[in-house]
Amino acid sequence: MATRNLGLIMHGVTGRMGLNQHLIRSIVAIRQQGGVTLSNGDKVMPDPVLIGRNAEKIEALAREHGINRFGTNLDAALENRADTVFFDAGTTQMRPTLLAKALRAGKHVYCEKPIATNLAEAVQICQQAQASGLKHGAVQDKLFLPGLRKLDMLRRAGFFGRMLNVRIDFGYWVFEGDLQPIQRPSWNYRAEDGGGMILDMMCHWRYVLDNLFGEVQSITCLASTHIDKRWDEAGKPYDCTADDAAYATAQLKGHNGEPVVAQMTMSWATRVRRDDLVTFHVDGTHGSAVAGLQDCRAQSRVNTPRPVWNPDVKQTMNFFDQWQEVPDTQVYDNGFKLQWEAFIRHVVDDETAGAPYRWTLPEGAKGVQLVEAALQSSKERRWVDVPALAL
């Protein structure tokens, strides 16, 4: 059994997602476990070089996590032929330019979502990646979460019967910054800096809907900016120019060709009273299920209770207690780490997965397509079709 190194340029890992999910919980964790195992038993050990703008910050981060290579010169890093993969978790606005530069340098590319702020740039970078013959991927982490994997198991087992609808309820209260410190970066609420709920979350909902419930056919959406003034990291007030909530309905073509309705409520101006920060409620003719990030609960046709509508008396049923938990049947690793392992195998060993790599840049472009359709719908107050994306 041999171990080989995989040179990896990591850009944008000083931000929240890049640091926590991609560096610490994925690449560092993979290194600590001894690498990624290939189909023949060999190991691949990621050998990252961390690239950032702040020299002191990037050096401290590298040393804290036992990484020997770091710097501020991305161009120099791209010139190193030993580093064959480029990863970006920086700003969405710069992503297409950085990916294009990495592809021209002959690097396989992997990136956070969205892959671009608009569909034209997303399509352009997809076409460049496909023409290059290099490997490419976009993060679709929700598909690897325990809750959604359990939900998908129910779907594949035929638990739902004919699927009718799915309701996605996402969000929590993001503090404005005057009374309590902010817990999300201020740029999230400025459209000119790439912020906005629709741009951030519709990319997630696109791959979740397409893969688990049915291909998106059309959408109607209402975007809102509920909080129009917030305070930034320095405590200075600023005007919010991006949507902080959106309310959407989509029509899907289910996996068996049947129509499925999807409703999506997403808000950074809501207070949580549900099982998790995001829940996915699926109704079907034979059963229903509700999944969060980790857990999933189901109610079958034969176990469905008979509630009585009587507004004059206090409700005696505890509806939460009427659902059966879908048990953990395996150990669920970090979703970001699992997709990193899949991409690393895709880069060095195509035969390992036994099937084509699914989470490519064109799949990421579909998310940007839904973003634009949702924004158009909100602006024009109408349904917008979502045609097949030709790449």
Cα separation, 375 vs 251, in Å, equals 16
* Same domain, residue pair 307 and 183: yes
Classify residue 387 by burial, with Cβ atoms within 10 Å: 0-12, 13-18, 19+. Answer: exposed
Give the per-residue pLDDT at 390.
84
The CATH code of the domain that includes 135 is 3.40.50.720
Range of the domain at 211: 144-333+367-380
Helix (H) and strand (E) counts in the chain = 10, 18
**In this structure, are 287 and 349 located in the same domain?**
no
Tally of CB atoms within 10 A around 348: 18
SS3 state of residue 94? helix
Residue 12, domain member (yes or no): yes
**256 plus 376 within the same structural domain:** yes
Are 176 and 125 found together in one domain?
no
154 in the same domain as 122 = no
Domain annotation covers residue 386:
no
Please tell me whether residues 184 and 312 are part of one structural domain.
Answer: yes
User: What CATH number is attached to the domain comprising 244?
Assistant: 3.30.360.10
Q: What pTM does this model have?
A: 0.94
Q: Are strands 43-51 and 3-11 parallel, antiparallel or unpaired?
A: parallel
pLDDT tens track, the chain, 391 positions: 788 999 999 999 998 899 999 999 999 999 999 999 998 889 999 999 999 999 999 999 999 999 999 999 999 999 999 999 999 999 999 999 999 999 999 999 999 999 999 999 999 999 999 999 999 999 999 999 999 999 999 999 999 999 999 999 999 999 999 999 999 999 999 999 999 999 999 999 999 999 999 999 999 999 999 999 999 999 999 999 999 999 999 999 998 899 999 999 999 999 999 999 999 999 999 999 999 999 999 999 999 999 999 999 999 999 999 999 999 989 999 999 999 999 999 999 854 445 689 999 999 999 999 999 999 999 999 999 999 998 8
Is 93 inside any structural domain?
yes
Same domain, 248 and 375: yes
Is the Cβ–Cβ distance between 252 and 209 less than 8 Å? yes
Query: Domains in the chain: how many in total?
Result: 2
389 within some domain: no
> Is 153 in the same domain as 85?
no
Phi, psi of 232 (to 5 degrees): -85, -170
Q: Strand pairing partners for 231?
A: 237
Residue 262 vs residues 200, 212, 225, 253: alpha-carbon distances, Å: 18, 12, 22, 11
Residue type, 27: I
Pair (85, 156) in one structural domain: no
Question: Has residue 388 been placed in a domain?
Answer: no
- 128 and 116 in a single domain? The answer is yes
- Same domain for 26 and 110, yes or no, is yes
> Quick check: is 390 in a domain?
no
Same domain, 168 and 107: no
